[in-house]
Amino acid sequence: MSRVPRILEVRTRILKKNDELARQMRQEFLAAGVFVVNLVSSPGTGKTRLLEETLVRLQAQGWRVAAVVGDLETDNDARRLARSGAPVRQIQTHGCCHLEAHMVQEHLKGWILDSFDFLFIENIGNLVCPTSWDLGESLRVALMSVTEGEDKPLKYPGLFNTSDAVVITKTDLAEACEFSPALARQNLEAVRPGVPILETSAKTGQGVAQWVEFLCRRRGELLQPNRAPMTSLRP
């Protein structure tokens, strides 16, 4: 009976240490003028394809971008994203179901932070575990695809309630999946009132320009035009 409080105590200490590091990282990101976006979704939502298109479009507009990608195994997603021409690094967790701040910090070593305007963190496909872990991001985005149904926000309120925006993906399949955007929005509003919602299809390009515009606008709202001196994450 005494083991449960002990487990909770250990978990609390681990999360506290993670949050302290994440706060330090966030300060360093912001000082360097880097807008960090944490993308969270279940597996198969299409976040890698959307991120690849996002990297391409932001670079076409003159933005400097980079990405780190979390997976249990393989570097498949990192290789896909590298086709965009952006610097990409893979984080393999070997069984851990989420990314933690120290993992991101470790994989950023050697990169000069103020050489980037945007840094994307593609989290591991999971709607539960990543919810509690701050990675130092400025924007947490939850993705849900039309193939998953409209009730994901009701089933996983923790993630959606802690997200700053929601992207509905694969909208080109909405009719075939009998997906109701109106019901999905209703469920999101019930869990996270007022959360920005964007509908996209990386395959057809629908809504992707609006998504990129949203990112640029949010970066502009947070960061001053002037950039900080050269800096890098401390080991």
Q: How confident is the model at residue 8 (pLDDT cuts 50, 70, 90)?
A: low
pLDDT at res. 10: 54
pTM, full prediction: 0.90
Per DSSP, the residues of 7-52 read HHHHHHHHHHHHHHHHHHHHHHHHHTT-EEEEEE--TTS-HHHHHH
Residue 202 carries which DSSP code? T
pLDDT at res. 228: 39
How far is 87 from 73, CA to CA, in rounded Å? 20
pLDDT of 1 higher than 60: no
Q: What is the mean pLDDT of the chain?
A: 91
Which H or E element spans position 161?
A: helix 157-161
Q: How confident is the model at residue 11 (pLDDT cuts 50, 70, 90)?
A: low
How far is 138 from 118, CA to CA, in rounded Å? 10
Sort 208 into a burial class: Cβ within 10 Å, 0-12 / 13-18 / 19+. buried
Residue 127 carries which DSSP code? S
Q: How confident is the model at residue 6 (pLDDT cuts 50, 70, 90)?
A: low
Of the chain, the percentage scoring pLDDT greater than 90 comes to: 83
Give the mean model confidence (pLDDT) for residues 123-135: 93
Give the mean model confidence (pLDDT) for residues 166-178: 98
pLDDT at res. 3: 57
Name, in order, each residue with C-beta under 8 angstroms of 96's C-beta and a sequence gap of 6 or more.
72, 124
Closest to 192 measured CA to CA, from 136, 144, 123: 144
Give the mean model confidence (pLDDT) for residues 10-24: 86
* Residue type, position 135, single letter: L
Is residue 107 a contact partner of residue 4, using CB atoms and an 8 Å limit?
A: no
Give the mean model confidence (pLDDT) for residues 9-23: 83
pLDDT of 14 higher than 90: no
pLDDT of 234 higher than 50: no
How far is 87 from 65, CA to CA, in rounded Å? 7
Domains defined along the chain, listed by start? 19-216 (3.40.50.300)
Question: For residue range 84-117, what is the model confidence (pLDDT) as tens digits?
Answer: 999 999 999 887 889 999 999 999 999 999 999 9
Give the mean model confidence (pLDDT) for residues 180-194: 97
How far is 15 from 210, CA to CA, in rounded Å? 35
What is the distance between the terminal CA atoms of the chain, rounded to a whole angstrom?
A: 40
Q: Give the three-class secondary structure for 39.
A: strand
pLDDT of 13 higher than 80: no
Dihedral (CA of 97, 102, 106, 110) sign? positive
pLDDT at res. 96: 87
Give the mean model confidence (pLDDT) for residues 111-126: 96
